[in-house]
Structures are given as structure tokens and as C-alpha cells.
Amino acid sequence: MERKEVFTAEQLSTVCDSPVRPADSGKVTTRLRVMFVEDNPADIELELLTLRKDGFEVSSDVAQTAEEFSSRIRTASYDLILADYNLPQWRGTEALDIMRQENLDVPLIVVTGYLGEEKAVEYIKQGATDCVLKDRLARLPTSVRRALAEKRLRDQRRHSEEALAQKVAELARSNAELEQFAYVASHDLQEPLRMIANYTQLLAERYRGKLDTQADKYIGYSVDGALRMQALIQDLLKFSRVGRAEVEPRTTDCQAVVEQASKNLQAAIEESGTAVNCKGLPTMMADPAQLTQVFQNLIANAIKFRGTDHPVVEISAKKMENEWMFAVSDNGIGIPADHWQDIFVIFRRLHTREEYAGNGIGLSICKKIIERHGGKIWIEAQATPGSCFKFTLPFAPSPKATEA
């Protein structure tokens, strides 16, 4: 076995402390703070010279024991670690474990006299950036540049991920604030609105025909406005309640859910002669009451926005990798493709109230329920006239999506 000469800490730090400036090679200078995990000052000097020749301006420290290494990386920051793997007191590559424990990301290159291919692969697996043999030191600068470039990329990615996480948190907070605001506003506005609606109705009843026709008209507008505002406020409250209610997943028979939704719409279904056909609906984990609301809103729309034929609603489900994908299609008036996104926004409608009753709340409630189950809802083109709504529901709602 190769006998290693043991040098004192002073000898090693003398090598590291001597300022090493880059040779005038014409290359761009890169400042580098290096930690050597090495016991041979001659090797350190050679490595410093090699780097210097290639345009690096290096300052360095050296650690020979695990304790020394730990205390140095805690107190100073390094761009690079060049570690021999076989020191008398410890294996330099254990530095990788220490860095993991300290949660530090500094590229480590194993620079050693001999290293079998298997060992090299093992170190790279453990987190070393590269392995360079001492008799092939010419490779070191290229390896260092690659390590630094990879580290820069990792830093950039980490920064973007942190920025993204921060934005997501801000968005979640502002959404929660908005929801809170919508809830409080709609809840607290109900009482004064009820007063306005009641008293304008009272005015209308008491004074209709007793003032002039203009006055009758104005009172009529006020009653109408107050009632409309009441309906909007109630819808807004309904919407914000969906956002606040806990999703309570239970084993849910989707066929039974559609039957319940149809039962709730019995009068409209009978009056319009609607057929609701289901195919392959699963039993799965979902909140049955909320899912009933989704199907009820979609079937109600299929009836409301029907064409000249009797409405036919086809409901089916397809098993995907992690979720069920549902389709609810109708033979109604259809939706222009440029509105496939915006009609899910609260109060967004494509028709006047004179053409079709409603406030534009139904689809936004469907979207909220589906998203809180961890799914998505969208509209898809279909071969026949009408509309086709698709939505996904994960096999089990994710806890994050169901948080109130």
C-alpha cells in the first residue's frame, strides 16, 4: 500500500496562503475560493498552478480532518471543494455527507492518485461533480468550469423556484383575502338590501297610480334593481360558501349522484322532455353533495340553452392514469369557441337576462368544486351541434385541493 507523508497544518496552510495569481494567458480571470481536502502540499501547489495557468485567481484553505472541514465550511463560503479521497484521518469524500447535513451546495471534485471506475461512479452518485486523477491534472480546469457552470444553473433554478413559490403563496393569500371579502361583503350587504327591497316594494304597492306615471316607472325600476341586486348578492354568497365549505370525500356512486341531480331538476326535465343518458359512471371518492351540484348545474344549462329539439344530455366517464375524466354533452345552442374559457368566470354570460334567465354563477361554482377536488373543467369541440363539458376528478381528492 502507498505510504503517505503526513504534513503539518502549518505546512499546508503556507501553500494555501501564498497568493496565486493567474498567469498572463490572455484568458478571462475567474476568482475562485477553494477548499482543499488534501494532506500533500505538493499536490495542492500543483493543482493551484494548473488552475492559475488556466485563468483562475485562486484563494484557498485546507482541511485535513472532518472537524476542520466542518468548522471551515460553517464559517467561510467556498466556490469549490477539491478533495482527495484517501486521507490518513478520514476519507475526503465524507465531505459530501457533511455538506448534505449542513444543507450546503458547493461543487466537490475528487482529485486523487488512483480511483477505479466503480469508485468514481459511486462518488458521482453520492454527489461529487467529477473525479480527476492527479496524473491527469490538465483536465482539472475544464472540470472546474463545468462544475461552476452547473452550480450557476442550479442556483438560477433554485432562485426561480423560490420566486415561483413566493408568487404562489402571495396569490393564495390574495385569493383567500378576496374570498373572505366576497363572503363578508355579500353576507353583510344582505340585510340593508333586504330593507331597500322591502320598502321599495311597499312604496310600489301603496303609491302605484297615486302619483304620476313617471313616478310609477321610477318606483318600478327601483324594485327591479333591488331584487336583481338581491339575487346577485345571494349568488355571490353561494359562490363564496362553496369556496369555504370543507370538501368531504366519501365513496360516491356517480350514477346515483346524476339521478339525484335529475330528481332536483324533475320539473324542468319533464316540461322540456329532456333525456339524461349515463354510461360507465364510476363509484369513487368525492364529496357527493358538491358533485350533485356540478351535474345539476350542467344539466340545468343543457335544458336552459336547448335548441329546437328535445334536450338530450349524454354523461360518460373514462378512467385515466390517476383520475376519472367525465364528459357532459348536450344538443343545445352550443358555445362559440372564443368563449370557452371566460364563461367559467363568475357572472360572465353570453346572453341577456331577457333571452335566458340566470346570473352567470353556475359554471363558476362547477369550476370551484372541481378544482377543490383537485380536478379541472373545460369545454371541448364535438362532432354534433351542442356543447361538451369535460372535467377530471382524481381517484382520491388531494388534501391540498380540499383545504378550506
Which residues of the shown chain bind ligand ADP in the complex (CB under 6 A)?
Answer: 297, 301-302, 304-305, 330, 332-335, 343, 349-351, 358-364, 387
Q: How far is the CB of 179 from ligand ADP (least distance, A)?
A: 18
Give the residue with the Cβ less far from ligand ADP, 192 or 336. Answer: 336
Q: How far is the CB of 284 from ligand ADP (least distance, A)?
A: 24
Give the residue with the Cβ less far from ligand ADP, 273 or 399. Answer: 273
- Residue 377: what residue type? I
Q: How far is the CB of 327 from ligand ADP (least distance, A)?
A: 13
- Expressed in angstroms, the distance from the first to the final Cα of the chain is 66
Query: Residue 290 and residue 236: Cα distance in Å, rounded?
Result: 17
Q: How far is the CB of 332 from ligand ADP (least distance, A)?
A: 4
Q: How far is the CB of 308 from ligand ADP (least distance, A)?
A: 14
SS (H, E, C) 52-113: HHCCEEEEEEEECCHHHHHHHHHHCCCCEEEECCCCCCCCCCHHHHHHHHCCCCCCEEEEEC
Give the residue with the Cβ less far from ligand ADP, 115 or 361. Answer: 361
Sign of CA dihedral 144, 145, 147, 148: positive
3-state secondary structure of 37: strand
Q: How far is the CB of 262 from ligand ADP (least distance, A)?
A: 16
Q: How far is the CB of 322 from ligand ADP (least distance, A)?
A: 27
Give the residue with the Cβ less far from ligand ADP, 60 or 297. Answer: 297
Give the residue with the Cβ less far from ligand ADP, 176 or 333. Answer: 333
Q: Which residues of 139-162 are buried (b: 16+ CB within 10 A; e: fewer)?
A: ebbebbeebbeebeeeeeeeeeee
Query: Residue 221 and residue 209: Cα distance in Å, rounded?
Result: 15
- Going by C-beta distance under 8 Å and a sequence separation of 6 or more, which residues neighbour residue 220? 204
Give the residue with the Cβ less far from ligand ADP, 61 or 330. Answer: 330
Give the residue with the Cβ less far from ligand ADP, 185 or 333. Answer: 333
